[in-house]
Structure 1
Amino acid sequence: MKSIATLILLAGGAAGQQSAYGQCGGINYSGPTSCVAGYACTSWNPYYYQCVPGTATPTPTPTSHTSTAVTTTSTSKSTSSTKTSTVSTKTTSSSTTGPTATGFAKTNGLLFEIDGVTKYFAGTNCYWCGFLTSNGDVDHVFADMAAAGFKVVRVWGFNDVNTIPLTGTVWYQYLSASGSQINTGEYGLQRLDYVVSSAAAHGLKLIINFVNNWNDYGGINAYVNAFGGNASTWYTNTAAQAQYQKYIEAVVSRYKDSTAVFAWELANEPRCSGCDGSVIYNWAATTSRYIKSLDPNHMVTMGDEGFGPLAGGDGSYPYQTGAGGYTWVDNLNISTLDFGTLHLYPDSWGQPYSWGDLWISTHGAACVNANKPCILEEYGGGNNCTVENPWQATALGTKGIAGDMFWQYGDTLPSCNCQTSQDGNTVYYNQGNWDCMVTQHVAAINAS
């Protein structure tokens, strides 16, 4: 995602404050709960509070599942090693039955083979799926996704904190220079366990990533708080990378035999401001090679947005190396990355909506040249079908693009009869623009 906040790419807040339109509270949220000046933290539903224009900044009232703001324990200290422990209790599993998987998803030329079928697929993003505390909610959401014709769902495989929250709040990893913890308990990775088991029961495949470039749910900033440096030096910080790999090992080892995993993803939208392109390239090559050593059966991808010079591009901001601090096509050629990803947010990048077709077609051509399939992994443009339907059609008709996944999926949760977060791009199941964004698109894919 470009961030939970629609404008977080363009606006930053003071320390301990959420930026304009950023998330500031809700069930299982563990980030800042106050807003920058001129914005008030407003509840849209129990799962999502947002900083919207206002004259006050009230703090959300915590529930038994809502944590207070994350507090940091270090801002500059760096170390070369960490101590990792785990917090563990009994694992639960889904009793729902569904389609039987025929093996691990894999590439097949410029497309993917999923359960023995090679074709273009439709998917979506559900960052919050692993943070739900009700098994029934997870099953309900995945049942609706399967009924819609989705095949691949991208979920956050991270939830990092620098202060351990109250019991009942989901967190996956506590980061500290004095000793980090990976939470494998009831409100830790067992929540992700249930997501994986429910996905398997409903015939869905998951893209699971390991860290966020943005501060939502900890992200690289949580590592910086623990091990020092900054967001750019994180990629070469020995202590941070050691703990990052320990976390990867903890997650991969749990699901390396599961056919419900579509692919492992290094990060959500990695960027390295002011860096030479070799920094992210070397990090991606090292990390993907490490994951392959742990699990040779599943695919690995990077999760980057697609920035950098590209044949056929127009030289605009997204086609410049400085946009992400890397060259996307160079990363695409890393042998231990099985496919490429690209995201599309013209509003955030200062481009007209019609520009999106060029972005998709030039990346598709690069994927053909690399002989790897690519996924339009995130896209959003005003939550408007007249804007996004042409992108879907272009992606479906572009050789090298093997699937698309809009940002983001929304549903009504049975446990609270409430809707999941609306960040301006959310498409809710069987509501509003669902037919033109999902039903018609899936039909077009099936017809092709």
Structure 2
Amino acid sequence: MNPTIDRRLLLGSAVLLAGCATMRGGDAAHRQFVRRDGMRLMTGDRRYRFVGANMWYAAYLGADAAYGNRARLIRELDALAALGVTNLRILASAEEGPLHHSIKPGFRTATTVNDALLGGLDFALAEMAKRNIRAVLYLTNFWEWSGGMMTYLSYVNGGRYIDVDDPAHPWPAFANFNAQFYGNDRAVGLYHDWVRALVTRSNGVTGIRYADDPTIMAWQLANEPRPAGDLAHAAPPQFHAWVQGTARLIKSLDPHHLVSTGSEGLMGALGQPEIVLAEHAIAEVDYLTAHIWPNNWEWVRQADLPGTHARGEALSQEYIDQHVGFARQLNKPLVIEEFGYPRDGGSNDPAMSTQYKDRFYRLIYAAVERDMAHGGPTAGTNFWAWNGEARAQHADFKFQPGDLQYMGDPPHEPQGWYGIFAGDTTTRIVADHAAAVARLPAPR
């Protein structure tokens, strides 16, 4: 344990506002924790189902700092609530370090903490509670855009790292290097310091301990943790030991909340069903997660969506069916917590149409509605991601240091590539799905 950072984290987390011990708004169901009962998520004696989004940047907008924009955060939350979105998946850590494409500022460095970003997360959770929107908070990242595991390794190995797009270290060198994290006690120790501090933090706006706040649905170990980049470099027992050790740590600090992995599912498990099943069979892991990326996985070609979309749709349906099967085998719920698709022609311009993206969203939502209607394990979805009113600040759609138009497309990706902008026709599909889910019976 690093005593300097641990002490600062805990001191920064200890602020309590007198007289704010209860939720400021929200209905009775929202004031109950989400819990697991076999393949079902529940609030009280009612089944909990949700339509969600990814909004990694919520704490950045919520920060009382030059890079924050609380007025915009409030507008975005209002827009999402109006669509029927009741769940947001949010970045709750970013490790500041040497990686070229990682967002700055971070929540932490090797020895310091960004109290403004923690305050931004406090503010975001307080505003979400007012709108009956729950949060899934992920605690680090396998990928470079928020620092993540590679940055933790650089903190303890003398500053060595690989950038994901370094031509001297082509894929899968980045992912294989990253896999060293799971067996590095010092790197995992720093990460666990962060987990302890955040899980035991008290919200400076509401005064509620995070561990006691039902606005949080789940803690998530990481965004898309993979055992390695290829099987030759994977050590599944070590990877699973990290999953179990971290999940047990969280449960020891906070028995009220769910814990999930953040896994892509089969694609993030090197195509090995046994890795997926072992990772999610761990008792402290409450539900299975799956991500679906047809363009990234070369199921479609964004330059030829008319000619490739049918194949992508067939493979996406197959992937959903596989993970519904895994969830049934594990007797645990399933959340499809990332899915994304490019705009027509592969454009990043919000003026471009979204005919094929809309088809993809309809496919995902129809599969979810069918499974929910038949009492299956699918509990909800989080589309990737909400761009809202943001617009790219540069003609090449690249994010530059100092840009403040945060959107769902993170800083290493073209701005506008996958996210949904306010006004997109895709928003109507989200709203229609939310209405359909709301009409489903909520069996006890």
State TM-score, norm by structure 1.
0.71
CA RMSD of aligned residues (A): 2.9
The structural deviation recorded for 1:446 is 2.3
**Aligned equivalents of 1:134, 1:326: Cα separation in 2:** 44
Q: Are the structure 2 counterparts of residues 366 and 83 from structure 1 closer, same or farther at C-alpha, using a change threshold of 3 Å? A: same
- Whether 1:295 aligns to 2:242 is no
Q: Which residue of 2 aligns with 1:196?
A: 125
**Aligned equivalents of 1:203, 1:342: Cα separation in 2:** 24
1:447 to 436, 439, 443: 439
Q: Any gaps of 5 or more consecutive residues in structure 2? A: 62-67, 99-103, 161-176, 202-209, 300-310, 344-356, 392-402, 409-414
**Aligned equivalents of 2:39, 2:439: Cα separation in 1:** 19
**Aligned equivalents of 2:407, 2:298: Cα separation in 1:** 28
Q: Secondary structure at the match of 1:349?
A: coil
Q: Are the structure 2 counterparts of residues 417 and 304 from structure 1 closer, same or farther at C-alpha, using a change threshold of 3 Å? A: closer
Q: Which residue of 1 aligns with 2:354?
A: none
**Aligned equivalents of 1:160, 1:207: Cα separation in 2:** 19
**Aligned equivalents of 2:154, 2:211: Cα separation in 1:** 30
Cα deviations by residue, 1:421-441 (Å, 9 ceiling, x for unpaired): 5441111234332112x1221
Q: Which residue of 1 aligns with 2:164?
A: none
Percent identity, aligned pairs only, is 22
- Whether 1:382 aligns to 2:342 is yes
Q: Which residue of 1 aligns with 2:350?
A: none
Q: Which residue of 2 aligns with 1:61?
A: none
On the 8 A contact 1:365/1:400 being kept in 2, the answer is no
On the 8 A contact 1:342/1:375 being kept in 2, the answer is yes
1:262 to 198, 217, 224: 217
Q: Which residue of 2 aligns with 1:130?
A: 59
1:401 to 369, 373, 378: 378
The structural deviation recorded for 1:298 is 0.4
Say which structure is richer in strand: 1
Question: Which one is further off, 115-124 or 131-140?
Answer: 115-124
- Pairing of 1:42-441 with structure 2 (within 5 A): 83-84=4-5, 85-86=7-8, 88=12, 97-100=25-28, 101-114=30-43, 117-132=46-61, 133-162=68-97, 170-175=105-110, 180-183=111-114, 185=115, 187-228=116-157, 230-254=177-201, 255-273=210-228, 274-307=233-266, 318=267, 321-323=269-271, 327-351=275-299, 352-353=311-312, 354-383=314-343, 384-398=357-371, 399-412=376-389, 420=407, 422-436=415-429, 438-441=430-433
Q: Are the structure 2 counterparts of residues 325 and 227 from structure 1 closer, same or farther at C-alpha, using a change threshold of 3 Å? A: farther
The structural deviation recorded for 1:371 is 1.1
Cα deviations by residue, 1:306-327 (Å, 9 ceiling, x for unpaired): 02xxxxxxxxxx39x5358971
On the 8 A contact 1:220/1:231 being kept in 2, the answer is yes
On the 8 A contact 1:155/1:206 being kept in 2, the answer is yes
On the 8 A contact 2:128/2:215 being kept in 1, the answer is yes
- 1:327 corresponds to which letter in structure 2? I
The structural deviation recorded for 1:111 is 2.5
Cα deviations by residue, 1:108-149 (Å, 9 ceiling, x for unpaired): 342322476414321110011111123222222222222211
Q: Are the structure 2 counterparts of residues 365 and 435 from structure 1 closer, same or farther at C-alpha, using a change threshold of 3 Å? A: same
Q: Secondary structure at the match of 1:173?
A: coil
Q: Secondary structure at the match of 1:188?
A: helix
**Aligned equivalents of 2:26, 2:49: Cα separation in 1:** 22
**Aligned equivalents of 2:150, 2:432: Cα separation in 1:** 40
**Aligned equivalents of 1:303, 1:97: Cα separation in 2:** 29
State TM-score, norm by structure 2.
0.71
Q: Are the structure 2 counterparts of residues 222 and 326 from structure 1 closer, same or farther at C-alpha, using a change threshold of 3 Å? A: farther
Say which structure is richer in helix: 2
Q: Are the structure 2 counterparts of residues 137 and 99 from structure 1 closer, same or farther at C-alpha, using a change threshold of 3 Å? A: farther
Cα deviations by residue, 1:181-212 (Å, 9 ceiling, x for unpaired): 233x2x23111111111111111110001101
On the 8 A contact 2:96/2:147 being kept in 1, the answer is yes
On the 8 A contact 1:411/1:419 being kept in 2, the answer is no
**RCO comparison, higher one (Cα < 8 Å, 6+):** 2
Q: Are the structure 2 counterparts of residues 115 and 181 from structure 1 closer, same or farther at C-alpha, using a change threshold of 3 Å? A: farther
The structural deviation recorded for 1:418 is 6.4
Q: Are the structure 2 counterparts of residues 373 and 289 from structure 1 closer, same or farther at C-alpha, using a change threshold of 3 Å? A: same
Q: Secondary structure at the match of 1:328?
A: helix
Cα deviations by residue, 1:134-185 (Å, 9 ceiling, x for unpaired): 322222222222221111110000121138xxxxx7431112xxxx2233x2
**Aligned equivalents of 1:447, 1:215: Cα separation in 2:** 40
**Aligned equivalents of 1:122, 1:297: Cα separation in 2:** 22
- 1:403 corresponds to which letter in structure 2? G
On the 8 A contact 2:58/2:73 being kept in 1, the answer is yes
On the 8 A contact 1:267/1:303 being kept in 2, the answer is yes
Q: Are the structure 2 counterparts of residues 300 and 210 from structure 1 closer, same or farther at C-alpha, using a change threshold of 3 Å? A: same
On the 8 A contact 1:112/1:118 being kept in 2, the answer is yes
- 1:425 corresponds to which letter in structure 2? Y
- 1:243 corresponds to which letter in structure 2? L
On the 8 A contact 2:92/2:140 being kept in 1, the answer is yes
Q: Are the structure 2 counterparts of residues 190 and 246 from structure 1 closer, same or farther at C-alpha, using a change threshold of 3 Å? A: same
Q: Are the structure 2 counterparts of residues 198 and 81 from structure 1 closer, same or farther at C-alpha, using a change threshold of 3 Å? A: closer
